[in-house]
Chains A and B, each alone.
Chain A
Amino acid sequence: MIGLSHYLIVSAIIFSIGLVGVLRRRNLLMLFFATEVMLNAVNIAFAAISHYYNDLTGQMFAFFIIAIAASEVAVGLGILIVLFKKHGSLDLDDLASMRG
């Protein structure tokens, strides 16, 4: 029987995968994907818990997260495009003119 804890474990694993993605990826686009993965991991958790408590709030939260993730991507990609125009690269390591 698949219970709440299984969902939560899956969610945690996906979240960690996303986190590792954020840490390891050098391409900004990939990085954005990784954060999306993390947010979606949270969605899984919310949906599962919502079901567990028989309470709709969690699912509402999940919907909001989806919406926000979408707008985040919109804004993020916009910034990425101007950055790419200016720098011609999306590599993180090229992006270190300010330091110290």
Chain B
Amino acid sequence: MLEPIHVSLESLNLITLAPMLIAIAGGLIILILDLINGKLHKSLYVMMTILILFIDFGAVLGLNVNERGFFDVMLIDGISIISQLMIIGGSMIFIPLALTSKRFHEYSYPEFFALFLFMIAGFQFMVATDNLILIFVGIETASLALYTLIALHNRSNSYEAAVKYFTMGALAAAFFAMGSAVVYALTGSIELYKVAEVMATRLNETGLMIAIFGSSVLLLVAFSFKLSLFPFHTWAPDVYEGASAPLAGYMSVIPKIAAFVVSIRLFGMYIDLGVEWVRIVILVMAVLTMTLANIMALVQNDVKRMLAYSSISHAGFIMAALALDTTEGNTAIFLYYALFMFTNLGAFAMLWISRHKKRRFDKRYDHPYEKFAGLVQIMPMGAVVMGIFMLSLAGVPPFSVFWGKIYVMQAAVNAGYIWLAIVMALNSAIAAYYYLKLVVYMFLKDPVKDVDIVYYNISKPLMVIIGFATVATVAAIFYVQPLVSYLYYMISASGY
């Protein structure tokens, strides 16, 4: 007979689950509110979401570093805390973008906000565990919610985007599951810390290397898809174009942070084990990603698509830092995303305010460069702000992304990868062209169409968010130090 299981509530350490539970509960509350009164305005949901995220944020802050809980499934180490904070923080500045002056029907559905919160819970699960099952569940929870959010944007492009993302996501999920199966077959475990232990003892067994490589490849495919690395990036431009601008901005940052955390855990493990091959493959993919995405971004006609390619390129940039597998490299990932988040969300928000409810700029594109021609004459502050975002993305000091860039490059140099630093430098130079192209359109050209087309969608909350992003972008030099030291401390505390 099986012994009855005795588990003390204390040993479960349920507090580690609290942040996710708060998000899920918040989503449910919103759904219940809608059941009670179906005519509530979206601003209520937005504020509710912010409040829930605020509590969530607090709950994460309250966690102790390096704890396990819930049958040791949850892992609360430094990177899980900082990544959760970034995910929640990013979401908090994303969600007010729903408060546009024009009504976009997806935001009037409370389901949008509920799904959004579930998605956040999914991300939090992804980062707060080293159990492959929970990672899988987290990924899928978040992804399924995200597919739906994209589709809710109710344009034919959005459906197309959702379908593309969904199908490829399903394939990636299959790869992830297969990869997990191989890992399980190799080690008899799906807890990464145990996997690492077992694998370390089996590394020298003949014939096993192919299985280890195989497992890494299967997992790599799955995460390369998430992180949009070449050649698994093909979905990204289309999905970004199909999704609404804020969501595209969101997608280029938050899901990637979550995916990066898992990647650090997974591939960091392989590299730590001495499987140099993984490092090489990642480096090659990273270099290819940043270069190819850059040169494709060069020829784009649409700003949103350009930004999509640019965020692919940035992801490649950061992936290279991951391959370094040093504390600095890992710090660089978070620092980069923390700094990139403001600028990128700001840039997408600027696209968002130029969005017309029905009319598109032309048949094919909604945000072609021409739309922004002469913006400085129509909307001087807007042009300056957008210009600052572009310069920041290009890596012009002292704007935020520059500090991330030099940290990544310094990490590469310190790890002895000077060639990588040079490749990064050259890529930044190529990238400068397409960012500059927008600056040129905004500042140096004359408007092409009627002047009123540019800022239909502006509203106070949007201005606040953009203002916040601008300040964060410009004043980066003053908060980089605390940010770096906090991130570095947390990451080294969790042993990465």
A75 contacts which of B137, B147, B173, B190 (Cβ < 8 Å)?
B147
B101 within 8 A of A: no
Residue interface bits A61-83, CB-to-B below 8 A is 1, else 0: 10011001001100110111011
- Please report the C-alpha to C-alpha distance between residue A76 and residue B137 in the assembled complex, in whole angstroms: 17
Inter-subunit contact A45/B163 (CB<8 Å): no
Whole-angstrom CA separation of A86 from B238 in the bound complex: 18
- The A-B contact count (CB < 8 A) is 119
Q: Of B79-87, B102-110, B176-184, which binds chain A?
A: B176-184
Q: How far is the CB of B193 from chain A (nearest CB, A)?
A: 14
Indicate which residue in B137, B156, B171, B301 contacts A68 across the interface (CB closer than 8 Å).
B137
A86–B156 CB distance below 8 A: yes
A99 to B189, CA, bound (A): 42
B273 at interface by CB-CB < 8 Å: no
Given the known interface contacts A80-B163, A82-B159, the answer about A72 and B181 at a Cβ–Cβ threshold of 8 Å is no
Q: Are A86 and B167 in contact (CB under 8 A)?
A: no
Beta-carbon contact of B177 and A79 below 8 Å: no
The reply to whether A61 and B180 form a contact with Cβ atoms under 8 Å apart is yes
- CB contacts (< 8 Å) of A61 on chain B: these are 132-133, 136, 177, 180-181, 184, 190
Q: Report Cα–Cα, A51/B253, bound state, in Å.
A: 40
Please provide the chain A residues from 38 to 62 with a CB less than 8 Å away from any CB of chain B in the complex: 38-39, 41-42, 45-46, 49, 52-53, 55, 57-58, 60-61
CA distance A18 to B24 in the complex (A): 34
* Complex Cα–Cα for A19 and B167 (A): 12
**Given A42-B177, A64-B133, A76:B170 Cβ within 8 A:** yes
Inter-subunit contact A53/B156 (CB<8 Å): no
Contacts of A79 in B (CB 8 A): 147-148, 151, 159, 162-163, 166
Taking a contact as CB atoms closer than 8 A, the residue among B151, B171, B189, B241 that contacts A57 in the complex is B189
Q: Does A3 contact B (CB under 8 A)?
A: no
Contact A98 B140 (CB under 8 A): no
Interface residues of B in 120-144 (CB under 8 A from A): 132-133, 136-137, 140, 144
Q: Which residue of B lies closest to A94 (CB)?
A: B160
Q: Is B280 an interface residue (CB 8 A)?
A: no
Q: At the interface, yes or no: A28 with Cβ under 8 Å from chain B?
A: yes
Given A49-B181, A79-B151, A97-B157, answer yes or no on A57-B190 (Cβ-Cβ < 8 Å). Answer: yes
B185, CB-defined interface residue at 8 Å: yes
Which residue of A has the minimal Cβ distance to B151? A79
CA distance A72 to B148 in the complex (A): 11
A18 to B175, CA, bound (A): 11
B419-452 interface (Cβ within 8 A of A): none
Instruction: Check if A75 sits within 8 Å of B148, measured CB to CB.
Output: yes
Considering the chains assembled together, what is the distance between the CA atoms of A61 and B419 in angstroms?
A: 42
Within 8 A of A (CB), among B301-326: 301, 305
B495 at the interface (CB under 8 A from A): no
Interfacial chain A residues near B171, Cβ < 8 Å: 22, 35, 38
CB distance from A24 to the nearest CB of B (A): 13
Instruction: Please give the distance in Å from B214's CB to the nearest CB on chain A.
Output: 10
Which residues of chain A are near B173, meaning CB under 8 Å?
35, 39, 68, 72
Q: Quick one: which of B137, B148, B160, B177 has the most chain A CB within 10 A?
A: B177
* A98-B157, A100-B305 given; A28·B181 CB < 8 A: no
When chains A and B are docked, how far (Å) is the Cα of A45 from the Cα of B182? 8
Q: Is B174's beta carbon under 8 Å from chain A? A: yes
Chain A hits for B144, CB < 8 A: 71-72, 75
Kindly state the separation between the CA atoms of A76 and B148 in the bound complex, as whole angstroms: 9
In the complex the two chains form, is A83's CB within 8 Å of B133's CB? no
CA distance A68 to B482 in the complex (A): 41
Q: Give complex CA distance A72, B164 in Å.
A: 14
Asked if B140 and A72 sit within 8 Å, CB to CB, the answer is yes
Closest 9 CB pairs of A and B: A38-B174, A42-B177, A35-B170, A45-B181, A53-B188, A98-B238, A83-B159, A68-B140, A75-B144
Q: Would you list 14 pairs from A and B whose C-beta atoms are within 8 A, ordered by A residue?
A: A31-B167, A45-B178, A49-B184, A52-B185, A55-B189, A57-B190, A58-B181, A61-B177, A64-B136, A72-B173, A79-B159, A97-B156, A99-B238, A100-B301
Known: A58-B190, A64-B137, A86-B159. 13 other contacts (CB 8 A): A31-B167, A32-B167, A32-B170, A39-B173, A53-B188, A57-B184, A58-B184, A68-B173, A79-B162, A83-B162, A98-B238, A98-B241, A100-B300
